[in-house]
Amino acid sequence: MPYLFTSESVSEGHPDKVADQISDALIDNFLAHDRNSKVACETLVTTGQVVLAGEVKSEAYLDVQTIAREVINGIGYTKGEYMFNGDSCGVISAIHEQSSDINQGVDRKSGESFEEKANAQGAGDQGMMFGYATNETENYMPLALDLAHSILRELSAIRREGTEIKYLRPDAKSQVTIEYSDDHKPQRIDAIVVSTQHDDFAEDEEMLAKIRKDIIEILMPRVIAQQKPEIQALFNDQIKYHINPTGKFVIGGPHGDTGLTGRKIIVDTYGGKGAHGGGAFSGKDPSKVDRSAAYATRHIAKNLVAAGVADEVLVQVSYAIGVAEPCGLFINTYGTSKVGVNDGELAKKVQELFDLRPYAIEHNLKLRNPIYQETAAYGHMGRDYYVGSKTFNKGQKNEITLDNLEFFTWEKLDRVEDIKKAFNL
């Protein structure tokens, strides 16, 4: 029997995502000036106020207030009427030194060889992390989440252009419901929800009618035009659109709802498909396996699906704090395996192909680079790998520009041939 599946996304102006972006901007600045920094930074945002708290071990000293304000202004909170403005909000820092009890399991003295370093660096915490991939989209992501992200990225582009829809404010959410067949193939889009913050520009009824018309007739055609023909075919005249269903949405952002780092972990990953170990990503340096191992398992899952091992793959890895070798590796192909071995045997083969010790993950995926603010909105997975540069402390005496930074390395399909060879594909 056909069934419905739903995923949601939130914009970069959503209060939780504002918090994530500030936390990851701090990570990037610490890593830019001291690549060995150990950081766990949480952010709270509310009406006119930012609170930073966390633990840091670093040789770098940062002007955290300036960094937070630059992020907020970059998102678009630049007007006093938003009741949250990068130039005028208060920024309180309660960041302190990392516990030596925690650090001793991560930073152990070692030799200079790769193996010595990999065996010396233990996991920053216990826990389990998941990676997932499916062949239902070109980027190996669940379709509902991919479309929900696309809607909000395009809404943000329209807001920044300021020509077609001029009343948009930074906060927004989207949701997409897709009907699947018995054999788990997308058949049609059943419902789309878009809630966008906006200026108070007319009487309520007229204003809401204008917003609905603009979302359906301006935003959605731009989103649909970006899709492959097979995805465009899923859009139809029967889609149920819920546009700002509660009514006007003038009060939003951190003034409308307090934001915290790490509260959008399903938006950050797979939209409810696969599984999630519960650990957030933003605000954590890559020694924290909550982040690095989640990226590593996504890398494994995506390369397995791209190699043709299975149509859908879930990878779980687990760790003990201070221990380098994983406690276990689990793989579920949901009955779609094409290589003639069970999932347990598949997991053993994957353990031979991929080194999941924390230092090896950091090294192989180049995670000690300042690449994290870019991950903090519109999902950490399913993004495009690229090489670019970043400048820190622009215009100041200690300005630094780093070139040839690799972003979203966990999305590279660089192990496909190795996997095909291992499974005779």
420 known ligand binder: no
Provide the pLDDT for residue 103: 53
Determine whether the annotation assigns residue 412 to a binding site.
no
Say if residue 374 carries a ligand binding annotation. no
Does 284 show up as a binding residue in the annotation? yes
CATH code linked to domain 127-135+286-422: 3.30.300.10
- At residue 109, the pLDDT reads 65
Angle, helices 64-75/15-33, rounded to nearest 10 degrees:
130
What is the rounded (10 degree) CA torsion for 181, 186, 192, 196?
140
List Cα–Cα distances, 269 to 23, 59, 314, in angstroms.
18, 32, 12
Q: Is 357 annotated as a binding residue?
A: no
Q: Over the range 79-102, which residues count as b (16 or more CB within 10 Å of their CB) and which as e?
A: eeebbbbbeebebebebeebeeeb
Judged against a pLDDT cut of 90, whether residue 193 lies above it is answered with yes
pLDDT, mean of residues 232-247: 96
User: Where does the chain hold its CATH 3.30.300.10 domain(s)?
Assistant: 3-10+143-252, 127-135+286-422
What is residue 91's predicted lDDT score, i.e. its pLDDT? 97
Whether residue 248 is annotated as binding a ligand: the answer is: yes
Give the H or E element holding residue 260.
Answer: strand 259-260
Is 230 annotated to bind a ligand? Reply is no
pLDDT score of 108: 61
Give the number of other CB atoms < 10 A from CB of residue 244. 19
**What letter does residue 123 receive in the DSSP assignment?**
B
Residue 14 in marked binding region: yes
Q: Residue 79's pLDDT band (boundaries 50, 70, 90)?
A: very high
- Read off the pLDDT of residues 295-307 as tens digits, 9 standing for 90 and up: 999 999 999 999 9
Q: Is 240 annotated as a binding residue?
A: no
| φ/ψ of residue 242, rounded to 5 | -115, 100
42 is in an annotated binding site: yes
Does 173 appear as a known binding residue? Answer: yes
Does 53 count as an annotated binding residue?
no
Task: Check whether 288 is labelled as a binding-site residue.
Answer: yes
Q: Tell me, what's the pLDDT at 402?
A: 96
Give pLDDT tens digits for 89-99: 999 999 988 65
Phi, psi torsion values for 53, nearest 5 degrees: -145, 150
Kindly state the average pLDDT of the residues 281-310. Answer: 97
pTM metric for this prediction: 0.95
Binned at pLDDT 50, 70 and 90, residue 106 comes out as: low
Q: Is 415 annotated as a binding residue?
A: no
Sheet holding 240-243, edge to edge: 3-10, 168-180, 186-198, 240-243
Residue-wise DSSP of 95-110: EEEPPHHHHHHH----
CATH topology of domain 3-10+143-252: GMP Synthetase; Chain A, domain 3 (3.30.300)
What are the tens digits of pLDDT across the range 380-418?
A: 999 999 999 999 998 888 899 999 999 999 999 999 999
Of 121-130, 204-213, 229-238, the range with the lowest mean pLDDT is 121-130
Pairing mode of beta strands 49-57, 168-180? unpaired
